[in-house]
Amino acid sequence: MLLNELETRFNLTVDAHLDRELTIPVVTGLQRQGDVIVIPTDNAGGGAPIPAEGVAVVRGENGGNTHLLLGDGEWAPTGTGLSLGVLTVPEDGVAVLAHPEHGFNRIGPGVYEIRRQREQADEIRMVQD
Amino acid sequence: MAKRLTRLTVEQEAALGPWADAWIAKALAPGPVDREQVEDGMRRCYEYAGIPWHGNVVWVDSPLVVGFAGPIAASLLKDEAVDGAVGGAIYGAVGGAVYEAVGEAVRGTVYGAVYGAVGEPVDGAVDVAVREAVGEAVDGAICGAVGEAVYGAVDGAVDVAVGGAVREAVEDNWYRYIGGMCWAWWTAYISYFRENTDLDLGEMWDRSRAYEDANQAGWWWPHRDFVIVSEKWSSTPQLEQVGERGWGSHRLHSLTGPALSFPGWDLYYVHGVRVDEKVVLRPHELTADDVWAATNQEVRRTIIDQMGWDRFVSEAGLTLVDECADPGNPGHTVSLYDLPERVYDEPVRVVLVDNATVDRDGTRRRFGLTVPSECGSALDAVAWTFDLDPGVYAGLERAT
């Protein structure tokens, strides 16, 4: 699917300067969206179905720059340490991670841990992009 | 008319959010204020506190002037400032007394036994929805900053500028102020009960109106013989919301001008960190020396963020430890540098990476992430930021 097709499909708009004709591949391996990474895992999965309006796995400052999880699958938030939760995408399903500045990442069937990025401050802190 | 509130009606609960919003907006609105209203409120506060009203109200531009002028004026009146300052007495007789009366009327032990099953305690609901919401958006975000800035100025300037008794008067007494609209949490919380419920606290409501009127402006420094009062901020304070309502919800932040302005006193903040004007308005003029000149690590890091890690790394002459291709970001490089200990308390390295997506200006932002000094290679470092094995991170298929 192209970026503009994903915008139509989920009824949301990403930043205007992003290439509307960019093909967004379905990936089942490791992929990253800014400071959020999607890691294939052997975890059991489970959780609640992703609602039609999506789930904010990271909510940006001022309500903007949110990493929004959409599409097919189940989401089990964990909220401990770097881990944000576990995503399960069913056979022949595709989940989508959307962000205004980074566009879209499509996630194929499988179980994934979604994690945040950290940095070494005086105390280890989460990265805000 | 109720002497005690045991529960809020649906309408009263529904009024909580809008009440907090209205008070936040009122508190943040810039001056000038209605000075007659404020001075009349002060007069009534003095009367409730049993202190003769002197009628000597001096308006100044900023809380900085209040912090200096109040104690200095008191000391020039050949008075021990601490004896002449009556802020504590006025707060006790008016602010504190009303607060306690409201507290007794909405809390209490009977409530728990009889109405425990009904719902949330009235005080808890109003406390969180109004007092904390307003308090954190105004007092927590702004007035903590004002207090620190005044304290910093007192601390830094008094030693050099003035001597002897005056120095002590300022150092020991600048904080004997009442907060004005900085303390909007008080008026928001108290007036909610007064205006939205049938709670009858008799004369306490009159006291609350006096205190509310007196606190429409900025800081005021009440003395037996005078009041020095500051106007409100001259433009709406620039805040960013960083959390839900309540503790730590807002902080001062502006990258285009002062986040907080009084006539003759502009204060610049980046994500709640106070910095010099240049850091905000002319980041292209910043140099590595500005970073080292800052005495506070948060300020140093803010300056580095504003000048950009890539420029800082080259200007500061940091030592390149390792470079590698950026996994998932073809054509781009990850670079690891040693960072002098002056930036952080412990040995740290910084890894520079390019954004995997083009930024609005058509370039790719290169940003730095600090990592522990144990990270031996650029790949180790970037994998550490996600707590992943470097071998796993090397297999990154796509980055955006």
- List per-block mean pLDDT (blocks of 10 residues) for chain B, which spans 400 residues: 77 90 90 96 90 91 87 74 72 74 56 35 68 77 78 62 66 84 87 87 87 93 89 90 72 92 90 91 94 83 89 90 95 92 78 90 84 94 96 96
SS (H, E, C) B332-390: CEEEEEEECCCCCCCCEEEEEEECCCCCCCCCCCEEEEEEECCCCCHHHHHHHCCCCCH
Phi, psi of B159 (to 5 degrees): -55, -45
What are the residues of chain A with a beta carbon less than 8 Å away from any beta carbon of chain B?
A: 15, 17-18, 25, 27, 29-34, 37, 39, 61-63, 81-82, 99, 101-105, 115, 117-122, 127
Structure confidence by residue, pLDDT tens digits, A79-102: 778 999 999 999 999 999 999 889
Distance from CA of B146 to the nearest CA of A (A): 23
**Cross-chain Cβ contact A31/B241 below 8 Å:** no
pLDDT given for residue B109 in this prediction: 36
**Residue B384: closest CA among chain A residues belongs to which residue?**
A118
pLDDT given for residue B114 in this prediction: 33
Q: Which whole-number Å values give the CA distances from B10 to B14, B123, B133, B197, B203, in the listed order?
A: 6, 15, 20, 12, 27
**Cross-chain Cβ contact A102/B348 below 8 Å:** no
| A-B C-beta contacts closer than 8 Å | 89
State the CB neighbour count (10 A cutoff) for residue B265: 20
Q: Say if strands A55-58 and A124-126 run parallel, antiparallel, or are unpaired.
A: unpaired
pLDDT given for residue B368 in this prediction: 87
pLDDT given for residue B110 in this prediction: 35
Predicted interface score ipTM higher than 0.95: no
Chain B residues with CB inside 8 Å of A15's CB? Answer: 360
**Residue B365: closest CA among chain A residues belongs to which residue?**
A129
Chain B residues with CB inside 8 Å of A103's CB? Answer: 357, 400
Phi, psi of B202 (to 5 degrees): 55, -125
**pTM for the model:** 0.72
CA dist., res. A9 & res. A70, Å (int): 10
Which of B240, B301, B387 minimises the CB distance to A61?
Answer: B240
To the nearest 10°, report the CA torsion of B274, B278, B283, B287.
-100
If phi over 0 gives left and psi between -120 and 50 gives alpha, with beta otherwise, what is residue B362?
A: left
- One DSSP character per residue, A70-121 reads EESSEEEEEEETTEEEEEEE-TT--EEEEETTTEEEEE-SEEEEEEE-EEES
CA dist., res. A107 & res. B315, Å (int): 41
- Sign, CA dihedral B139-B141-B142-B144, equals positive
B372 lies within 8 A of chain A by CB:
yes
**Residue B353: closest CA among chain A residues belongs to which residue?**
A34
Which of B360, B387, B396 minimises the CB distance to A30?
Answer: B396
B387 lies within 8 A of chain A by CB:
yes
CA dist., res. B169 & res. B167, Å (int): 5
Contact A78, A45 (CB under 8 A): no
